[in-house]
Chain A
Amino acid sequence: MKKTPFDQDFLNKLNRLSLASKMAVKGSTGGQRKSNLKGDSVEFSDFKEYTPGDDFRRIDWNAYARFERLFIKLFMEEQQSQITIILDCSGSMDFGDPNKGFLAKQLAGIFCYLGLNTLDRVGLLCINDKVEDRLPYFTGKQGFWKALKFIEEIPFGGRTSLNTAIKMCQSIGSRGGTTIILSDLFSQDGYEEGIKYLQYQKQEISLIHILSPEELDPPWDGNIRLVDKEDQNYRDINVTQQVMRAYRDTLDGFLRDVREFCYNRGVHYVPINSGTGIEGIVFDNLVKMGVISS
């Protein structure tokens, strides 16, 4: 029986988490996120001299008594945020023990749940070298199960071209929001331009970089033929200790480059080992890295 990414016990734990957002976002409907717009929440923001056309119900009569001028109170408006979850569904994600794709689906479900829990609009995009599938933005917890079903049915395959695929994600729009990318970043054309594009679209980005234990510390030795899962190309390698050292150096360099890029661009970067348990990832890695606030 195929393992399901979620169970009720795990979902219960998610109730006390919410997505952290440093960035105030614009939205058209009310939500639970603070907006720069002055609205009708209970939180005081500023005073403004009354001008005709203003809602006279907001006139502060106490201030009129003191200054004999009409002021109206301004309050913070709480608006809905748009959360976009981009899931890399290329063939390379369906690898590892524990499987990277399985973990990515779990995390996508978690982020979806958290977003809906804060009354945000949540949308899902599955990309490889193009937008393979998408779940349009929706709100309300009642849509969660539909989202889970969508996530569960995502197939893995195709080659990874993050730059190309992200630029195809027109549905994100430019009104701002939060984008969470779940990928191993084994992209033929890189990932940097895609992230820059998303930032241009005023997205606060969290990059969840998932690698399997086999990729972090390959267990192989001797003469092996490595077959690429995405394109079936192979490379014959005599794996010696010298080769392993070179691989680790390459991997470290790769991770360092991603981290530096993210740091420079203000992107939340969370490297994750798929061998780490989901609970540990959520309550430790994501919270520590500021992606989730408890």
Chain B
Amino acid sequence: MKFLNPWGFLFFISIPGIIILYLLKQQNQEMMVSSTFLWERTMQNLQASVPWQRLRANILLILQLMALVLFSLGISQPFLYSREEKDDYIIILDSSASMQATDIKPSRFQRAKSDIEKLIDGMLPHQRMTLVEASDRARILANQVSDKATLKAKLGQIKETNGFANMVEAFEFVRALAKEEPNSGIYLYSDQYHKAGDNEDNPYNTIIYNDNGQNRAVQSVTYSYDSNTPIILSAITNYGSDSMVSVECLADGRLIDVKEVSLSEGETKNIYWDNIPTKAQRIEIHILDEDDLMADNRAWAILSPPSVNRVLLVTTRNTFLEKAIGLRGDLELDKTTLDGARDIGGYDLYVYDGYTPPELPEDGSVILFNPVGTGDILNIGDIFNPGAIRLNSRTSYRDLVNYITPEDFHIAEARILEKPPWAEMVLEDEKQRPIMMVGQLENQRIAIFPFEIHKSDLPLKSDFPILMQNLLGWMLPQIVDYDAERFAGDEVEINPFPHAQKVTVENPYGLTMDVGPPFPIPPFSETQEVGVYKVRQRIDEKDIEGYFTVHIPTLKESDLRLIDQPSTETKIQTDDRLRLSTGKSVWHYFIWAVLILILAEWWVYQRGY
């Protein structure tokens, strides 16, 4: 037996107090009697001459002393232990989607949390605990903490997620922590065995919460168009025993069809859905039957939204540019001469060829080819003859020159440009003079090429259209890539229009979050909920919306069945008894005994023994 609160033994100090109270004569009620003649004969052992009386075997005294001893033991919080103690515990709690499964009631995750809470309750004062949450990113919530309230509060912060468990990262943390305290007891609370923690130096216990739950999941939802009519392809996988499931398809919330699918164990079936309205945007596939993990019973797809970017090309004549820009189908390209370029607005991208506007347009991105003349935005110098062209190794815009070989370019002449503070050199010549500069001025993206295309061999090479498409992709991004496959916890890149004033994201539960300004917007990471997210950018009192979907990583999380335990050589141990042996608190038995003793004392007192 151990005591969580040995300070409770201080109450033993009060035992002499009780004895003294019995030794000390009480303040008695005074009664006048005719004579103490008979009383003296009766009470020969009761002498009043000294303040102390002989301590007699008094049943009340014995009961009170017993009650006090039991009370002291009780508030010392005795615990019964049946396992070897560790001074430090490192607890890894798997909070991945599969831990939501209800094959263990109320859920695997809740049961694991409850067991950890019991472990916390059973900690001795000198013991410390480190709490590590293993979700898509591992997090250390408490590091070598002894305070139970803090640990419980931190434990309470851990919620089950819809993502996967990044056990590799979690065990990296654990190894680092275990180096500091080599004798730490490492306990993984999960629904599967994990090899990530396989390390001879740090054997650990896995407490498994798995009752081989039954689960069916929507594996994927994709689409294609047949004569402008969307056709949906969904894949349903059975991670349980043979069963028949009902699957429904909804388009923008309207039921399109329900299909019965027979699935044998482990089988994946593709289901096609037609009769989808042409203008439908949001498709949802839903398995109607309940199983042990409901979070993967739904999946969504966003059909490509009609989006047209407007581009203005200001040039005397440049067929190469015109062709390269026109390769992108979702653009509406307008051309104008230098004279007509003044005071024009309303475009998403302005491409100036051989012309420098006195000031930058307010509402779009800008590409400058061969800037000439004078302007506030650039200091343009003399013409020079560039040497060999190369990639600036320090640039952060390396993606813009993907699949391009700068060394193959040859430029006859270019203008010397002073690099503005907001810009970076992407391509340079051997004397580090700029050949391609890119930068972002507030929310406006700008690219500058200080040479005339016709005086280079660039347009003759296949690299040119690639470069232009890379550039257009950066200059005219979709606000969000609606088609990308994203899992809960993934970061989502949001690319608003340069003239967007405000950007918000609404999660599947209708919670709206402001993400910009400031611009540029950092990657959006509040993607723990699965479903359809709506990105809304406000431009001139008008909202432009985009969507993206977040799913459960079904390949990692939907199979609830317990994978066989690895061989014993892996040093992964399981100790199912751990769940029951976290220490049994027995203090309340002592307090009950105290209450019974007090009742007994009252009874004895009433009876006058």
Contacts and interface: CB of A to CB of B under 8 A. Distances in A.
Interface of A: 91-96, 100, 160, 184, 186, 188, 212, 214-215, 220-230, 233-238, 240-243, 246-247, 249-251, 254
A289 B32 CA distance: 32
B33 A228 contact: yes
Contacts of B26: 223, 238
B31 A226 contact: yes
A250 B32 contact: no
A184 B42 contact: no
B607 to A, nearest CB: 8
B608 A237 contact: no
A96 B27 CA distance: 25
Given A227-B30, A247-B42, A250-B41, A235 B36 contact: yes
Contact of B35 (A160, A224, A238, A250): A160
A188 B41 CA distance: 12
Contact of B28 (A188, A225, A250): A225
A272 to B, nearest CB: 14
Contact of B43 (A225, A228, A235): A235
A229 B33 contact: yes
Nearest to A244: B608
Contacts of A94: 34
B48 interface: yes
B55 to A, nearest CB: 13
Nearest to B25: A236
B33 A214 contact: yes
| Nearest 9 pairs of A and B residues by beta carbon | A95-B34, A92-B34, A186-B35, A225-B28, A186-B37, A241-B608, A92-B35, A223-B28, A228-B36
Contacts of A249: 42
B509 interface: no
Classify the secondary structure of A's interface with B. Answer: mixed
Nearest to B46: A237
Given A235-B43, A235-B46, A250-B42, A227 B34 contact: no
Contacts of B35: 92, 160, 184, 186, 228-230
Contacts of B42: 243, 246-247, 249-250
A234 B42 CA distance: 14
Contacts of B36: 226, 228, 233-235
B138 to A, nearest CB: 69
A101 to B, nearest CB: 10
B608 A247 contact: no
B511 interface: no
A228 B40 CA distance: 11
A243 B608 CA distance: 10
A240 B42 CA distance: 12
Contacts of A184: 34-35
B33 A95 contact: yes
A91 B40 CA distance: 17
A227 B26 CA distance: 16
A203 B470 CA distance: 147
A234 to B, nearest CB: 6
Given A215-B34, A235-B43, A237-B46, 13 more contacts: A95-B33, A100-B34, A186-B35, A215-B38, A224-B28, A225-B29, A226-B36, A228-B33, A235-B48, A236-B46, A246-B43, A250-B42, A251-B38
Nearest to B53: A236
Given A214-B33, A221-B608, A235 B39 contact: yes
A194 B29 CA distance: 37
Contacts of A225: 28-31
A230 B36 CA distance: 9
Nearest to B40: A235
Contacts of B33: 95, 214-215, 226-229
B225 interface: no
A210 B67 CA distance: 48
A242 B609 contact: yes
A94 B35 CA distance: 11
A238 B29 CA distance: 10
B39 to A, nearest CB: 6
Contact of A224 (B31, B34, B40, B609): B31
Contacts of A96: 34
A246 B38 CA distance: 10
13 contacts: A92-B35, A186-B35, A223-B27, A223-B28, A225-B28, A225-B31, A227-B31, A229-B33, A230-B35, A234-B30, A243-B42, A247-B38, A250-B38
Interface in B38-59: 38-43, 46, 48
A250 B36 CA distance: 12
A76 to B, nearest CB: 46
A227 B28 CA distance: 11
Nearest to A219: B31
A170 B405 CA distance: 154
A168 B576 CA distance: 100
A238 B24 CA distance: 13
Contacts of B25: 236
A95 B38 CA distance: 15
A226 B38 CA distance: 11
Contacts of B608: 221, 240-242
Contacts of B28: 223-225, 236-237
Contacts of A100: 34
Contacts of B32: 95, 227, 229
A223 B26 CA distance: 7
In this complex, the member of B33, B48, B609 whose beta carbon has the largest number of chain A beta carbons within 10 angstroms is: B33
B39 A247 contact: yes
A241 to B, nearest CB: 4
Contacts of B39: 226, 235, 237, 247
